[in-house]
Amino acid sequence: GGGTAGWMTAAAIARLLPHRAEVHLIESEAIGVVGVGEATLPHIRAFNERLGIPEAEFMARTRATFKLGIEFRDWGAIGDSYIHPFGTFGTGSGAVDFHHYYTRLLREGAELPPLDRLSYACALAREGRFAMPEMDRRSLAGTFGYAYQFDALLFAPYLRGLAEEMGARRSEGIVVDVERDGESGDIVAVTLADGTRIEGDLFVDCSG
């Protein structure tokens, strides 16, 4: 499989195991890629950094925007809107985190603002603003992280270019048969619709 998952896998193996693994990706243009905006978590930043992808270049090539959290609409009741931020709420004390105090006061009948009103990331998101988080986690502006929203149809070709530069190769075709080892059950080869047989030591299913 190709798409975002396939080319992320290919690029990662090619980058992290240079000269130790030969990467061969099989995908079919007949199947295509789901053309939707790709929603990510902050882990994607670490992935891109590990591959040496410059953030500005990545965002320009994939038409990405910054993402500060995930909004849940009509989750608890129709009309409700709650943002789960990529960051913290308030400040706790020792082993007791802030939300424990908040929950206890709420159960005791205290009038409190919605929890997501007590998050710097949520405040930025609701105002449609963004700033890079500060490195000092003791600062209010250092209490959040971020991810991206980008065009999946642009991210996969971008990753393909990087992976192929690092030695990954691609075959066009649809897998029609899987050959397994009779004793271990491991996959030893796959056969494409045109009869091509491709052997390997590790097969990663990114077909979705």
User: Could you tell me if residue 8 is inside a domain?
Assistant: no
Looking at the structure of the chain, the number of domains it has is 1
Show the tokens assigned to 100: 């424990």
* 54 lies in some domain: no
DSSP character at residue 155: H
For residue 131, is it within any domain?
yes
Range of the domain at 81: 69-145
77 lies in some domain? yes
Whether residue 11 is contained in a domain is answered as: no
Bridge-based pairing state of the strands 197-199 and 187-192: antiparallel
> Is 88 a member of any domain?
yes
Per-residue pLDDT tens digits for 152-201: 889 999 999 999 999 999 999 999 999 999 999 999 999 999 999 999 99
pLDDT band at residue 30, thresholds of 50, 70 and 90? confident
- Which two three-digit tokens encode residue 50? 């590990």
Cα separation, 91 vs 93, whole angstroms: 7
Catalytic pick among 7, 67, 160, 163: 67
Beta strands in 48-126 (DSSP E): 65-67, 69-73, 81-85
Residue 197 resides in a domain: no
Residue 58 lies in a domain: no
Based on the residue annotation, tell me whether 142 is a catalytic residue of this protein.
no
Which residues are paired to 69 by β-bridges?
Answer: 85
The three-class DSSP label of residue 54 is coil
Q: Backbone phi, then psi, for 112, in 5-degree steps? A: -125, 150
Using one digit for the tens of pLDDT, what is the confidence trace for 69-78? 999 999 889 9
